[in-house]
């Protein structure tokens, strides 16, 4: 049966909008590897949901299932109440995936022109260029773009069709802080236009800055779920910085850990129960050094300093 | 207070014939632009047959090959085949494999692009490169090789190029699906160059060492080259024209069937 799309006002609390996209008790196995293990997730209209977790947590797998690029081993994936593999659902979604390279010898404007042609009601070129901040780059070959500009083009391609749902898989990976902040502005502008966004990230700061709801996953299961405030309260907003030989993957296994980053030889751990995590880390590594326990917000301080 | 539940449904995707043609045309235009601007591709795929034809074809200006075949004309058909096969194998085999490995194909698949658009565009692009190669070689043959080429003969060469590219496009597809992206370029060369040699594309088949002759009828490049020679009446008389078409057609079905099987197996694992 074919019905017209019903407009949903998110302000009107009496309207119970069905989720726009759903993963229901989904398990996904690749051979012996279980990427998702009974994961359930629902996207409500107009919300930005961040899937937060380390590499290999199953974030990209969840996105691929909702895009119909792969099928669940058990459970169901639905988008607009349909199987995501139905071609018609793809006219109403946009995706920014982790693409290693885009054809290098096409120009920005040509990539946009081609992607627009796939959609029944695309945004105008001028609008795409404006939203993705690609002004003045239309005639530049992809190979001549900077890392941030490349990500902006991929973002532009994701919004070409004026989608209702936008999937962003690690949209800011590999970008410096300023380029990342720029992309954040664009993601916020999507929400302002009433779009539903599912983004994956392994930065707590990013999820905190953008999402209405954060779903922390690890090893294919949901570890924690809530608003950024709830997640931060749960984590008591504390961060460990130290130099340790314990690998990030081992630290992720400790209770209450929500974020692990390794940078410049130091390990940064965000956790609810910092004391318990520290005891375990000290027990695992006699050589652990350079220890600091800090409140987050360092990134903001760093940005203020570098921009000052 | 009443509570309504809003559900969603998806209207089927309907495109008019004109819209479909528009998408395929755009896909093809950009595939062609992408490859013509990729100098490593365009220079080698066009440059090698041109260079070989200058060395072997034009150098044999005025020579005949025994039974009255004009060498420069015979080799025109050979190097046209060689060029077309290269355009198809490199354009599709190497091109598709790298787009697949880089995740670009996956991004396209998540868009409402018609599922065959990319592949059809790559095939038409390979045909376009075939036409370019044949036009350059024909111009060289007429201008510097002393070859007389009628308009009908030229048109038939072009027609053969359009048809003959398709089986090799199918072979490129299979290579892109089976061979890891980093190895496709090497694998294509390992198939393309020996196959061209043993099919008589470099040296006319009658001058090849005897051990290669029984192999040729099993090579698709041999059938293509012989079909191009029929335009000039230069083909070997051992296999009929219909036999060559059947050889190429069978090869194409084999490649497409194998590609289909591999594709479905990887789909199930994805």
Q: Dump pLDDT digits (tens) for B131-143.
A: 999 999 999 999 9
Between A298 and A276, residue with greater pLDDT: A276
Specify if B226 maps to a domain. yes
Residue B34's closest chain A neighbor by CA? A105
Q: Is the pLDDT score of A132 beyond 50? A: yes
Inter-residue contact B226 to B239 (CB < 8 Å): yes
Residue B165 lies inside a defined structural domain of this protein: yes
Buried b (16+ CB within 10 A) or exposed e, A133-159: bbeebbeeebeebeebbbbbbbbbbbb
Q: Using the structure block, give the residue that is written with the tokens 């992309």.
A: A183
pLDDT of residue A57: 86
**DSSP 3-state assignment of B254?**
helix
Kindly state the average pLDDT of the residues A253-277: 86
pLDDT of residue B213: 84
Chain A positions touching B2 (Cβ under 8 A) are: 14
Residue B14 within any structural domain of the chain: no
Asked whether residue B63 is domain-assigned, the answer is yes
Residue B5 counted as domain residue: no
Burial class (CB in 10 A: 0-12, 13-18, 19+), B247: buried
- Residue with the two structure tokens 């760093």: A302
Owning domain of residue B153: 20-269
User: In chain B, whose CA is at the least distance from the CA of A97?
Assistant: B107
| Out of B10, B27, B33, closest to residue A88 by CB | B10
Residues of chain B with Cβ-Cβ distance to A120 below 8 Å are 13, 15
Number of domains in chain B: 1
Q: Answer yes or no: is B11 within a domain.
A: no
Asked if residue B96 is part of any domain, the answer here is: yes
- From chain A, pick out residues whose CB is under 8 angstroms from the CB of B35: 105
Higher pLDDT, B247 or B268: B247
Tokens of A257: 């850990």
- Indicate the DSSP class of residue A82: B
DSSP code for B207: G
> Is 60 exceeded by the pLDDT of residue A297?
no
> Which DSSP symbol is given to A124?
P
Least CB–CB distance from A70: residue in B26, B27, B270? B270
Whether A149 has a pLDDT exceeding 80, the answer reads: yes
Q: Could A20 and B8 be called an inter-chain contact, meaning their C-beta atoms sit closer than 8 Å?
A: yes
B1 or B31, greater pLDDT: B31
Q: Would residue B215 count as lying in a domain?
A: yes
The ipTM is 0.89
Residue B213 makes CB contacts below 8 A (sequence gap 6+) with B205
Average pLDDT, chain B: 91
Confidence of residue A234 (pLDDT cuts 50, 70, 90): low
Q: Which domains does chain A have, with CATH numbers?
A: 21-230 (3.40.50.300), 236-307 (3.30.70)
pLDDT of B6-29, one tens digit each? 667 777 778 889 999 999 999 999
What would the pLDDT profile of B216-236 be if each residue is shown by its tens digit?
Answer: 889 999 999 999 999 998 988
The answer to whether residue B86 scores a pLDDT higher than 70 is yes
Q: Is the pLDDT of residue A91 over 70?
A: yes
Asked if the model's pLDDT at residue A86 lies above 90, the reply is: no
Residue A62 has pLDDT above 50, yes or no: yes
Instruction: Decide: B219 and B108 in contact? Cβ < 8 Å.
Output: no
Q: Are A41 and A20 in contact (CB under 8 A)?
A: no
Kindly state the percentage of chain B with pLDDT values over 70: 97
């Amino acid at each position: 049966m074919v019905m017209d799309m019903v407009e949903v006002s998110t302000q009107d609390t009496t309207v119970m909008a069905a989720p726009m996209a759903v993963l229901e008790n989904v398990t996904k196995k690749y051979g012996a590897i279980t990427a998702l293990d009974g994961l359930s997730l629902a996207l409500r209209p107009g919300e930005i949901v961040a899937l937060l977790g380390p590499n290999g947590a199953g974030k990209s797998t969840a996105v691929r299932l909702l895009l119909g690029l792969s099928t669940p081993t058990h459970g169901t994936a639905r988008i607009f109440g349909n199987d995501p593999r139905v071609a018609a659902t793809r006219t109403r979604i946009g995706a920014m995936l982790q693409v290693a390279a885009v054809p290098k010898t096409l120009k920005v404007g040509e990539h946009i022109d081609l992607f627009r042609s796939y959609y029944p009601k695309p945004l105008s070129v001028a609008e795409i260029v404006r939203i993705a901040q690609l002004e003045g780059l239309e005639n530049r070959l992809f190979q001549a773009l900077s890392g941030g500009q490349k990500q902006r083009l991929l973002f532009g391609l994701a919004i070409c069709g004026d989608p209702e749902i936008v999937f962003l898989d690690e949209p800011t990976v590999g970008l410096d802080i300023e380029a990342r902040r720029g992309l954040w502005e664009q993601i916020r502008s999507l929400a302002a236009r009433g779009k539903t966004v599912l983004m994956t990230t392994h930065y707590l700061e990013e999820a905190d800055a953008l999402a209405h709801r954060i779903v922390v996953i690890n090893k294919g299961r949901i570890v924690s779920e809530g608003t950024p405030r709830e997640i931060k309260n749960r984590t008591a907003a504390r961060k460990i910085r130290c130099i340790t030989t314990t690998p990030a993957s081992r630290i992720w296994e400790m209770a209450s850990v929500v974020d692990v980053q390794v940078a410049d030889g130091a390990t940064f751990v965000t956790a609810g129960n910092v004391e318990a995590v520290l005891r375990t880390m000290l027990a695992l590594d006699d050589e652990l050094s350079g220890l600091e326990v800090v409140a987050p917000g360092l990134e903001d301080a760093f940005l203020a300093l570098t921009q000052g | 207070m009443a509570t309504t539940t809003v559900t969603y449904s998806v209207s089927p995707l309907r495109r008019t014939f004109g819209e479909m043609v528009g998408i395929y045309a755009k896909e093809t235009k950009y595939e062609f632009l992408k490859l013509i601007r990729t100098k490593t591709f365009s220079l080698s795929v066009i440059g090698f047959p041109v260079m070989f034809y200058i060395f072997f074809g034009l150098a044999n200006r005025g020579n005949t090959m025994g039974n009255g075949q004009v060498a420069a004309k015979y080799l025109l058909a050979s190097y046209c085949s060689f060029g077309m096969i290269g355009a198809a194998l490199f354009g599709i085999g190497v091109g598709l494999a790298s787009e697949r490995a880089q995740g670009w194909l996956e991004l396209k698949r998540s868009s409402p692009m018609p599922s065959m658009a990319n592949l059809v565009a790559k095939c038409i692009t390979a045909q376009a490169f075939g036409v370019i190669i044949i036009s350059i070689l024909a111009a060289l043959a007429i201008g510097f090789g002393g070859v007389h080429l009628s308009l009908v003969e030229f048109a038939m060469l072009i027609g053969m190029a359009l048809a003959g590219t398709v089986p090799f496009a199918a072979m490129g597809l299979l290579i892109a699906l089976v061979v890891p992206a980093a190895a496709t370029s090497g694998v294509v060369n390992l198939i393309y160059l020996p196959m061209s040699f043993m099919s008589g594309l470099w040296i006319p088949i009658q001058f090849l060492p005897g051990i290669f002759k029984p192999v040729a009828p099993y090579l698709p490049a041999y059938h293509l080259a012989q079909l191009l020679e029929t335009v000039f009446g230069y083909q070997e008389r051992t296999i009929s024209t219909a036999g060559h078409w059947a050889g190429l057609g069978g090869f194409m079905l084999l490649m497409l069937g194998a590609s289909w099987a591999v594709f479905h197996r990887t789909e199930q694992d994805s």
